[in-house]
Structure 1
Amino acid sequence: MSRFDHSSDDSSVDSRAEDFSQDFKPEFSEDEETLITRMFKLVGERWSLIAGRIPGRTAEEIEKYWTARYSTSED
């Protein structure tokens, strides 16, 4: 069997990881929050550009932070 072959058990691992990532809310420092806000005003929803300015952060983390913090669905 090749080391690249995937067994059917991989899908259950992927779904658990996906469930975890949906509940995961990363903590951001005040400096990071300020930078995210400033960058968003400059470049909009270009999460990868914003993440490039914050070492150790991914575009997905920043997008989730922004969506959770500034979601307009809370009427």
Structure 2
Amino acid sequence: MTTLNSTDGSSVDSRGESNSQDSKLEFSEDEETLITRMFNLVGERWTLIAGRIPGRTAEEIKKYWTSRYSTSE
């Protein structure tokens, strides 16, 4: 069951957990190595990279990469 939080309009499920996926994604060392190697080969083609890692989505790969390697100017 999802309810609407009247103070900010965000939805919260019946267990009191937010529906957003803000939890940190865990990647194995092998996955990290593969992501790095694939990125060096194909660049920001997240769907292509995710296709090489079973159970991972392009969005997960992109979030991992940007949180790990993003540089602030």
Which TM bucket (shorter chain)? Answer: 0.7 to 0.9
Superposition TM-score, scaled by structure 1 size: 0.71
CA RMSD for the aligned pairs? 2.1
Bigger proportion of residues as strand: 2
2:61 aligned residue: 62
Deviation at 1:71, TM superposition (A): 1.0
Relative contact order, higher structure (CA 8 A, sep 6+)? 1
Q: Structure 1: how far apart are the matches of 2:25 and 2:68?
A: 12
- CA-to-aligned-CA distance 1:28-62 (integer Å, 9 cap, x gap): 00000000000000110000000000000000000
Runs of 4+ off more than 4 Å: none
The yes-or-no answer on 1:31 pairing with 2:33 is no
Aligned length in residues: 62
Task: Give matches, 1:4-43, under 5 Å.
Answer: 12=11, 16-18=18-20, 21=21, 23-43=22-42
Gaps of 5+ in 1: 1-8
Identity %: 80
